[in-house]
Amino acid sequence: MTTPRILAATYAALAVLGFAGGPPWVLTPLCLAALVALGELWLRALAGEAMPTVTRIGLATAAGLVSLPFLAITLHATGILIRPRALAVGLAVLATLLGVIVLLRERADGAPVDPRLPRTVAAVAIPGFLTLVAGFLALQAYDRLPHPPQPGYTSLALNGWAGDIDRPVAIPARGVHVPVRVSSAGRPAATEPLRVRVGSRLVSGRALAVVPGTTRSVDVFVPAPPGNCLHRIEISLGATSTVFYGHGPGQRRC
Amino acid sequence: MTLTRPAPGRTTGAAVASPLEAAATVSRRPAILCAATLVATGSAGAALLVAANRAAEWDTGRQFALFWAGMLVFTLPAVYWLVRRGTGTRLRVAVLTAYAGFTYLPKLLRTPDGPLYHDEFAHWRQAREILLDGRLFEQNPIVKVVGDFPGLHSAVAAISGLTGVSIWHGALLVLMVAHLLVVLGVAVLAEEIWQDARIAAVATIVYSLNSSFLFFDTQFGYESLAIPLLVWTLVALHRAMRGPAGRARLGWSAVTVMLSAATIATHHLTALGLLGVMLILCAVATARALRRINPRAVTWTAWALTAAATVLVVSYLWVVAPRTAGYLDPYLARALDQFAGMAGEGGGGGRTLFRESIAPWWERAAAFGAQGVAGLGMLAAALWLRRRREGDAVSRNGALTMFVLGSCYFPAALLILTPSGAEGARRSWAFSYLGIALVVAPVVIWLLDRAPFYSGTALLAVCAVVMVGNTAAGMNPSYRFPGPPVFGSDTRSAIPEVSAASAWLRSTQGRDLRIVADRYSGLIFGSFGGQRPVTGSVSFPTYDLYLAQPGRQPSPRLIEQLSSWRFTYLIVDRRMAREVPEIQIYFETNEPVPHSDKPAFTLGQLTKFDRTPWTIKIYDSGNIAIYRFDFASLRKAAR
């Protein structure tokens, strides 16, 4: 393929990748092809001579691939954020630079011919595609087989405003409703005791149904601790618990 | 159709600077037979690999036999087709491609959906940071220097951004291409040196027997891309040394420098390994030049390109990644200390190979046998190189360089006996095995040509033993196979409970929070959770929080560090009080934590935070608890 055609194909591919979009299964081979084309331009610009076909395929692929980190580093150094459009434009600029060098070089020396290349490309592409298909089928088969269950859990977390508690809470005389989040996965349905302790004193307790595969918020009433002392406040559900600290409204010294 | 237009005034033959490849197979029959064989064996192999994973998941113990049956049922016929005298050039390339594709399958089946190995979490996070923030060189909390070497994760992030595939699928694409590039690269390098496609194919097969080939160098880790770059840099270097003077040599030199630059931007150790190989090449070329058997241009080209690569590597490490020396140095220093300890009177500091491994006896035996085979292979290669002085100056330089490189395999193998050296030893094998592969390959072909049937059968058996043994030596079973959750394994600690805790923290408190964690929670919170975990170090001993006995305050200096550096959360995995980590690490390799067959922590040490007013317990799921620091309440007492 002539250099202008490679350039045109690269620009078209980059335009689709950067601006048009499409399904990933179309864009991925397109991206790979654009990178290999870019790698071919690198080779024509730098080495500029014929070489064994496998060497050409390998070096073009490697050079195309490393264009991405080179470009990313350049964008970073110039303060441009690495985004898909910036990458597409950057690759197009790189292709243009390489294309100019190649065209100048070819005007002086001509371009070498290698009629074996298309067949060797096919010799890489066909088994490559077949192994991809084999890998995909193997993954599908593996996915569909039954797998052992993962260990389950029940979690309890401070929720809503209580999730932001970062210091002792001043609890008014009327007490406070503390939202907690209960989540369960991979365990059978159960009823767990939901308890509130202020210091070592159990102040309330009730049963709470824990449904597997659900997450819900529950308000738990915490009465005001006696006096202005710092009290440990524990809300527990079965074996799990949350703990924060608070003091009551009184003026009594501890 | 041609890929390039004809050069005016030149014939095709004159334009092709490289020797023409052997003519393709005249008859299509072998190709059809080969394709049919490999499709059938590949399908059977893939099915057996799936069966092996399933056996491992259900813990039946049959995974090892199924896995190797699956690998060998494809690879042995592929080897046959590769070394067969009548196989044409294109067919050989096709088989090599299929070989590369099939040998990626074990890793693909192991991690189809997301990161699993330790370094994979670090690269996955780094790629996601690029997609989110659009910037490179962000510090990585899991592997602190990963961010300084953006080659792999920037390529993955770019592909993910351009195509819309997930980061993991983008990574798989890059890694599969990189794996193919290694296979083709070794073949091309071998052909540069030996000018023989069969020898090249054998060299590729021998290289693929190294311990990192199937699992380690296929992971989402920087070496997986850097090693193919190293191989292709050496290809370009050989062509630069050989190329006719003038523009061609200059062009290949430019390719060499470009690929060297890409290597250093991708991985520190591989870049240093590349410099090592180039320096060996220079030393060999200089020694031969002094004896007047090397053209001066070859030697000068080698030195000039090595100097250029050195400037690139040193400049990069000095300017862009100055932390790298501090990151690598402790590993080497500790390994040497432990080696000295082993050699001393006490004999301490060493490690027992396959300790508590569930690998079957025949894998372990093969692991030791593989080292013997490598030794015998190198001995035979030495005799071969001494007797046969074939090829031009560049080929001879290359062969001798590869012999010296291959010889480095054996001293590095000794480091496997030390805990700190083992990691480095494993990583070095991917380089030194390149040397072994390239000098043993002609000996293999010589043997095959002498007695094709007997030596062929024996060599296939040896190939199988070395593949089994090296893989067993390089990767422990929990990395190779799925299975029941195991605490303290990088690959099997990540139970849904840890992921749920990490997701909760991210969704309610945001990302980029500074958190204190153990190694295994840190992997999940630092990657999927998007947080900045610290797992402790000598200068910032966060593990002292966990080690402190109930009722004892942590050191004021540590609290000052945590407070001034704005650490806000503490993650506690209570499995640390019930189980011993599989890899004997709780936080980091140098931790001051007692290691024995009992857990290093009591439940009291881990639940003490439930009763300290400066730690607010905001989340609990049984094994995992998340606390928020409130350093202002440190001295307060609660009722």
Nearest CA in chain B to A53: B21
Give A-chain residues touching B165 at CB under 8 angstroms.
Answer: 24, 27-28
Give the residues across from A210 on adjacent strands. A190
**pLDDT confidence bin for B345, thresholds 50/70/90:** low
Distance CA B264, CA B322 (A): 13
Cα–Cα distance list, B546 to B125, B549, B578, B626, B628 (Å):
26, 8, 14, 13, 15
pLDDT of residue B2: 36
DSSP codes joined into one string, B214-247 = TTGGGSSSHHHHHHHHHHHHHHHHHHHHHSPTTH
What confidence score (pLDDT) does residue B3 get? 38
Of B289, B323, B100, B69, the closest CA to residue B201 belongs to B100
At B9 the pLDDT is 37
d(CA B517, CA B502): 11
A148 has a chain B CB within 8 A of its CB: yes
3-state secondary structure (DSSP) of residue A221: strand
Residue boundaries of the structural domains of chain B: 111-480, 496-633
Asked if A117 lies within 8 A of B485 by C-beta distance, the reply is no
Under DSSP, the state recorded for B39 is H
> What DSSP letter does each residue of B124-160 carry, written as one string?
HHHHHHHHHH--S-PPPSSSTTGGG--HHHHHHHHHH
Model confidence, pTM: 0.91
From B371's Cα to the closest Cα of chain A, the distance in A is 31
pLDDT at A252: 62
pLDDT digits over A97-129, tens only?
A: 999 999 998 887 776 677 888 889 999 999 999
Residue B14 has pLDDT above 70, yes or no: no
Q: Quick check: B418 pLDDT over 80?
A: no
Tell me what pLDDT residue B191 has.
Answer: 95
* Across B231-250, average pLDDT: 90
In this complex, the residue of B151, B181, B617 whose CB is nearest that of residue A242 is B617
Rounded distance, CA B588 to CA B582, Å?
A: 13
CA dihedral A65, B479, B497, A240 (to 10 degrees): -140
Q: How confident is the model at residue A44 (pLDDT cuts 50, 70, 90)?
A: very high
Give residue A108's pLDDT.
75
Contact B97 A131 (CB under 8 A): yes
Query: What is the percent of chain A where pLDDT is above 90?
Result: 81
Per-residue pLDDT reduced to its tens digit, A156-209: 999 999 999 999 999 999 999 999 999 999 999 999 999 999 988 999 999 999
HSE (side-chain half, CA atoms, 13 Å) at B533:
31
Please, what is the average pLDDT of chain B? Answer: 89
Nearest CA to B306 out of B273, B270, B282, B272 is that of B282
Instruction: Give B423-472 pLDDT, tens digit per residue.
Output: 777 788 899 999 999 999 999 999 999 887 788 889 999 999 999 999 99
Give the tens place of pLDDT for each residue, B217-227.
999 999 999 99
Q: What percent of chain B has pLDDT over 70?
A: 90
* Higher pLDDT pick, B627 / B246: B627
A178–B contact, CB cutoff 8 A: no
Domain B496-633 class, CATH top level = alpha beta
For residue A158, list its beta bridge partners: A180
Mean pLDDT within B555-561: 93
Mind listing the pLDDT tens digit for each residue in B16-69? 344 444 444 456 888 999 999 999 999 999 999 999 999 999 989 899 999 999
| Mean pLDDT, residues B170-191 taken together | 97
When CB atoms are compared, the residue of B90, B255, B259 closest to A123 is B90
Taking only the tens place, the pLDDT of each residue in A123-138 is 999 999 999 999 999 9
Phi, psi of B602 (to 5 degrees): -95, 160
User: Given this model, what pLDDT does residue B380 score?
Assistant: 96
Return the pLDDT at B434.
97
pLDDT of residue A229: 86
Closest to A47 (Cβ–Cβ): which among B8, B105, B251? B251
What is residue B358's predicted lDDT score, i.e. its pLDDT?
Answer: 77
pLDDT at residue B248 in the model: 84
> For the residues A221-237, what does the mean pLDDT come to?
91
pLDDT of residue B291: 85
Q: What is the CATH number of domain A153-247?
A: 2.60.40.10
Q: What average pLDDT does the segment B322-332 reach?
A: 81
The pLDDT of residue B206 is 97
The confidence score (pLDDT) of residue B21 equals 46
pLDDT at B8 over 50: no
The pLDDT assigned to B341 comes to 64
Facing residue for A82 by CB, picked from B50, B157, B173: B157
DSSP β-bridge partners for residue A190: A210
Contact B108 A135 (CB under 8 A): yes
pLDDT of residue B353: 61
- Burial profile A184-193: b = 16 or more Cβ within 10 angstroms, e = fewer: bbbeeeeebe
Tokens of A172: 């008014």
Domain boundaries, chain A: 3-114, 153-247
Average pLDDT over residues A82-89: 96
ipTM of the complex: 0.90
Q: What integer pLDDT is reported at residue B20 of this predicted model? A: 43
| d(CA A207, nearest CA chain B) in Å | 18
Rounded to an integer, the average pLDDT of A47-58 is: 90
Region B202-206: what's the mean pLDDT? 97
* pLDDT for residue A69 is more than 80: yes
Q: Is the Cβ of A52 closer than 8 Å to some Cβ of chain B?
A: yes
Cα(A177)–Cα(A162) distance, integer angstroms: 9
Inspect the interface and report whether the beta carbons of B46 and A70 lie closer than 8 Å.
no
pLDDT classification of B343: cutoffs 50, 70, 90: low
pLDDT tens-digit profile of A5-27?
A: 999 999 999 999 999 888 999 99
The pLDDT of residue A83: 96
* pLDDT of B105 higher than 80: yes
- Mutation target vs A (from B3, B32, B184, B264; most A CBs, 10 A cutoff): B3
Rounded CA-CA distance A164/A166 in Å is: 6
Q: Which residue of A has its CA nearest to B154?
A: A69
Q: How is residue A145 annotated by DSSP?
A: S
**Chain B contact probe: residue of A17, A32, A65 with most B CBs at under 10 A:** A65
Residue B15's pLDDT is what?
37
Q: Could you give the 3-state DSSP secondary structure of residue B569?
A: strand
Stretch B602-619: mean pLDDT = 95
For chain A, how many residues are written?
A: 254
